[in-house]
Amino acid sequence: MAAYIRPPIGASAFRDADGQVIPYGRRWRNGDPPEDSYSRVSHPERFAPLHQIAEALVRHLTADYDARSEDVPAPEGALRSIRLTPSGPDQAPLTFVFTDFPSVSIRAGLLHEQGFPSCGCDACDEDWREPADELERLVLTVVAGGFAEWCRPGFGSRYGSSLESVDGSGSQRGETSARAVSAERFKAARRRLRRLPDGWAAWSPKT
Protein backbone atom coordinates (compact mmCIF):
# COMPACT_ATOMS: atom_id res chain seq x y z
CA MET A 1 0.00 0.00 0.00
CA ALA A 2 1.46 3.34 -1.07
CA ALA A 3 1.84 6.11 1.49
CA TYR A 4 -0.09 9.32 1.03
CA ILE A 5 1.95 12.09 -0.57
CA ARG A 6 0.79 15.71 -0.57
CA PRO A 7 0.44 17.03 -4.13
CA PRO A 8 2.85 19.79 -5.18
CA ILE A 9 1.40 23.25 -4.54
CA GLY A 10 2.68 26.20 -6.54
CA ALA A 11 3.84 29.34 -4.75
CA SER A 12 1.43 32.30 -4.74
CA ALA A 13 1.84 35.90 -3.61
CA PHE A 14 -1.02 38.07 -2.35
CA ARG A 15 -0.65 41.83 -2.19
CA ASP A 16 -2.21 44.64 -0.18
CA ALA A 17 -3.64 47.90 -1.54
CA ASP A 18 -0.13 49.34 -1.78
CA GLY A 19 1.16 46.43 -3.82
CA GLN A 20 3.19 44.92 -1.00
CA VAL A 21 3.25 41.15 -0.56
CA ILE A 22 1.21 40.14 2.51
CA PRO A 23 3.28 37.79 4.73
CA TYR A 24 0.40 35.60 5.90
CA GLY A 25 1.32 33.73 9.04
CA ARG A 26 3.86 36.30 10.18
CA ARG A 27 2.06 39.66 10.29
CA TRP A 28 1.25 39.87 14.01
CA ARG A 29 4.39 38.40 15.53
CA ASN A 30 5.27 41.66 17.24
CA GLY A 31 1.85 42.53 18.59
CA ASP A 32 -1.90 41.97 18.56
CA PRO A 33 -3.83 42.15 15.27
CA PRO A 34 -5.86 45.32 14.55
CA GLU A 35 -9.40 45.23 15.89
CA ASP A 36 -10.99 45.46 12.42
CA SER A 37 -8.99 42.44 11.18
CA TYR A 38 -11.32 40.11 13.09
CA SER A 39 -14.18 40.99 10.74
CA ARG A 40 -12.17 41.14 7.53
CA VAL A 41 -11.17 38.35 5.15
CA SER A 42 -8.72 39.38 2.47
CA HIS A 43 -7.65 37.03 -0.31
CA PRO A 44 -9.70 33.97 0.68
CA GLU A 45 -8.30 32.40 -2.48
CA ARG A 46 -5.11 31.75 -0.51
CA PHE A 47 -6.89 28.66 0.84
CA ALA A 48 -7.60 27.18 -2.60
CA PRO A 49 -4.81 24.56 -2.24
CA LEU A 50 -6.96 22.88 0.41
CA HIS A 51 -9.25 21.69 -2.38
CA GLN A 52 -6.30 20.09 -4.16
CA ILE A 53 -5.18 18.39 -0.97
CA ALA A 54 -8.66 17.07 -0.18
CA GLU A 55 -8.96 15.69 -3.71
CA ALA A 56 -5.58 13.99 -3.31
CA LEU A 57 -6.72 12.42 -0.04
CA VAL A 58 -9.88 11.10 -1.70
CA ARG A 59 -7.83 9.57 -4.52
CA HIS A 60 -5.43 7.99 -2.03
CA LEU A 61 -8.16 6.49 0.13
CA THR A 62 -10.20 5.09 -2.76
CA ALA A 63 -7.08 3.64 -4.40
CA ASP A 64 -5.58 2.01 -1.32
CA TYR A 65 -8.51 1.16 0.97
CA ASP A 66 -11.64 -0.94 0.67
CA ALA A 67 -14.06 2.00 0.61
CA ARG A 68 -16.91 3.19 -1.58
CA SER A 69 -16.93 6.77 -2.88
CA GLU A 70 -20.10 8.64 -3.85
CA ASP A 71 -21.20 12.19 -4.43
CA VAL A 72 -23.87 13.22 -1.93
CA PRO A 73 -26.03 16.36 -1.76
CA ALA A 74 -23.90 19.35 -0.83
CA PRO A 75 -25.04 21.77 1.88
CA GLU A 76 -25.76 25.41 1.09
CA GLY A 77 -22.57 27.29 0.23
CA ALA A 78 -20.76 24.13 -0.84
CA LEU A 79 -19.60 23.12 -4.29
CA ARG A 80 -19.46 19.37 -3.80
CA SER A 81 -19.65 16.66 -1.14
CA ILE A 82 -17.95 13.28 -1.44
CA ARG A 83 -18.74 10.52 1.05
CA LEU A 84 -16.31 7.65 1.58
CA THR A 85 -17.83 4.60 3.25
CA PRO A 86 -15.33 1.94 4.34
CA SER A 87 -16.25 -1.73 4.08
CA GLY A 88 -16.23 -2.56 7.80
CA PRO A 89 -19.27 -1.70 9.94
CA ASP A 90 -17.07 -0.43 12.76
CA GLN A 91 -14.95 1.80 10.49
CA ALA A 92 -15.76 5.52 10.50
CA PRO A 93 -17.08 7.06 7.27
CA LEU A 94 -15.66 10.33 5.99
CA THR A 95 -17.39 13.09 4.04
CA PHE A 96 -15.37 15.78 2.27
CA VAL A 97 -17.31 19.03 1.72
CA PHE A 98 -15.75 21.50 -0.71
CA THR A 99 -17.00 25.03 -0.05
CA ASP A 100 -16.87 28.10 -2.27
CA PHE A 101 -14.93 30.08 0.39
CA PRO A 102 -12.71 28.11 -0.63
CA SER A 103 -12.33 25.70 2.27
CA VAL A 104 -12.90 22.06 3.15
CA SER A 105 -15.09 20.61 5.87
CA ILE A 106 -14.68 17.02 7.06
CA ARG A 107 -17.47 15.01 8.62
CA ALA A 108 -16.06 11.97 10.39
CA GLY A 109 -17.93 9.14 12.04
CA LEU A 110 -21.37 10.12 13.33
CA LEU A 111 -21.07 13.60 14.84
CA HIS A 112 -17.61 15.05 14.35
CA GLU A 113 -17.33 17.95 11.89
CA GLN A 114 -14.32 20.21 11.40
CA GLY A 115 -13.57 23.01 8.95
CA PHE A 116 -10.25 23.85 7.32
CA PRO A 117 -9.40 26.62 7.91
CA SER A 118 -11.34 26.93 11.14
CA CYS A 119 -11.87 30.67 10.56
CA GLY A 120 -9.97 32.45 7.78
CA CYS A 121 -10.23 36.03 9.04
CA ASP A 122 -7.26 38.38 8.75
CA ALA A 123 -6.69 38.32 12.51
CA CYS A 124 -6.06 34.56 12.40
CA ASP A 125 -3.44 35.29 9.73
CA GLU A 126 -3.31 31.79 8.27
CA ASP A 127 -2.15 30.63 4.91
CA TRP A 128 -3.11 27.20 3.56
CA ARG A 129 -0.25 25.22 5.11
CA GLU A 130 -1.35 24.87 8.74
CA PRO A 131 -4.96 23.91 7.94
CA ALA A 132 -3.60 21.48 5.32
CA ASP A 133 -1.49 19.79 8.01
CA GLU A 134 -4.54 19.54 10.28
CA LEU A 135 -6.77 18.24 7.46
CA GLU A 136 -4.33 15.48 6.56
CA ARG A 137 -3.81 14.60 10.23
CA LEU A 138 -7.54 14.20 10.85
CA VAL A 139 -8.24 12.10 7.77
CA LEU A 140 -5.22 9.82 8.09
CA THR A 141 -5.76 9.32 11.84
CA VAL A 142 -9.39 8.30 11.26
CA VAL A 143 -8.31 5.83 8.60
CA ALA A 144 -5.57 4.41 10.83
CA GLY A 145 -8.02 3.67 13.67
CA GLY A 146 -7.06 6.49 16.02
CA PHE A 147 -10.52 8.10 16.15
CA ALA A 148 -13.15 7.75 18.88
CA GLU A 149 -16.48 9.46 19.63
CA TRP A 150 -18.77 9.51 22.66
CA CYS A 151 -22.05 10.97 23.89
CA ARG A 152 -22.71 12.18 27.44
CA PRO A 153 -26.48 12.30 28.08
CA GLY A 154 -28.31 14.00 30.93
CA PHE A 155 -28.33 17.60 32.08
CA GLY A 156 -25.99 19.57 29.86
CA SER A 157 -25.68 16.72 27.35
CA ARG A 158 -22.48 16.78 25.32
CA TYR A 159 -20.73 14.82 22.61
CA GLY A 160 -17.07 14.66 21.79
CA SER A 161 -14.26 12.98 19.93
CA SER A 162 -10.58 12.22 20.20
CA LEU A 163 -7.75 11.67 17.76
CA GLU A 164 -4.70 9.66 18.75
CA SER A 165 -1.92 9.44 16.20
CA VAL A 166 -0.97 5.81 15.81
CA ASP A 167 2.72 6.72 15.87
CA GLY A 168 2.30 8.55 19.19
CA SER A 169 3.16 11.92 17.68
CA GLY A 170 0.13 13.75 19.04
CA SER A 171 -3.44 13.72 20.28
CA GLN A 172 -6.53 15.91 20.17
CA ARG A 173 -9.69 15.81 22.26
CA GLY A 174 -12.78 18.00 22.50
CA GLU A 175 -16.46 18.18 23.41
CA THR A 176 -19.39 20.38 22.46
CA SER A 177 -22.98 20.83 23.56
CA ALA A 178 -25.48 18.30 22.23
CA ARG A 179 -27.67 21.27 21.27
CA ALA A 180 -25.51 21.53 18.15
CA VAL A 181 -27.32 18.49 16.69
CA SER A 182 -30.91 17.27 16.73
CA ALA A 183 -32.11 15.17 19.64
CA GLU A 184 -32.84 12.29 17.27
CA ARG A 185 -29.34 12.35 15.82
CA PHE A 186 -27.78 12.50 19.29
CA LYS A 187 -29.81 9.52 20.52
CA ALA A 188 -29.02 7.46 17.44
CA ALA A 189 -25.30 8.24 17.74
CA ARG A 190 -25.34 7.35 21.44
CA ARG A 191 -26.87 3.94 20.69
CA ARG A 192 -24.32 3.23 17.96
CA LEU A 193 -21.30 4.44 19.92
CA ARG A 194 -22.12 2.19 22.86
CA ARG A 195 -20.96 -0.65 20.61
CA LEU A 196 -17.64 1.09 19.99
CA PRO A 197 -16.11 1.45 23.48
CA ASP A 198 -12.60 1.40 22.03
CA GLY A 199 -13.35 3.80 19.19
CA TRP A 200 -13.65 3.30 15.45
CA ALA A 201 -11.59 0.59 13.78
CA ALA A 202 -8.90 1.13 11.16
CA TRP A 203 -9.95 0.95 7.54
CA SER A 204 -9.18 -2.22 5.61
CA PRO A 205 -6.57 -1.92 2.88
CA LYS A 206 -7.40 -3.24 -0.57
CA THR A 207 -6.07 -6.70 -1.26
Of 91-95, 103-107, 124-128, the range with the lowest mean pLDDT is 124-128
Tens of pLDDT, residue by residue over 130-153, are 999 999 999 999 999 999 999 999
- pLDDT, residue 167, reads 81
Mean pLDDT of 57-73: 97
What domain count does the chain have?
1
At residue 157, the 3 state secondary structure works out as coil
Contact 149, 110 (CB under 8 A): yes
Secondary structure of 34-79 in HEC code, one letter for each residue: CHHHHHCCCCHHHHCHHHHHHHHHHHHHHHHECEEEEEECCCCCEE
Domain limits for position 187: 41-193
User: Is residue 161 domain-resident?
Assistant: yes
Residue 105 counted as domain residue = yes
134 contact partners, CB below 8 Å, separation of at least 6: 114, 116
| Residue 24 located in a structural domain | no
Q: What percent of the chain has pLDDT over 90?
A: 88
In a domain, 100, yes or no: yes
Question: What pLDDT, on the 0 to 100 scale, is given for residue 47?
Answer: 96
- Residue 198 inside a domain? The answer is no
Could you tell me the pTM of the whole model?
Answer: 0.94
| Within-domain flag for 109 | yes
pLDDT score of 114: 97
> Which are the contacts of 132, defined by CB distance < 8 A and separation ≥ 6?
6, 49, 50, 53, 116
Please report whether residue 32 resides in a domain: no
pLDDT of residue 181: 96
Q: Residue 87 falls within a domain, yes or no?
A: yes
**157-193, pLDDT tens digit by residue?**
999 999 998 888 889 999 999 999 999 999 999 999 9
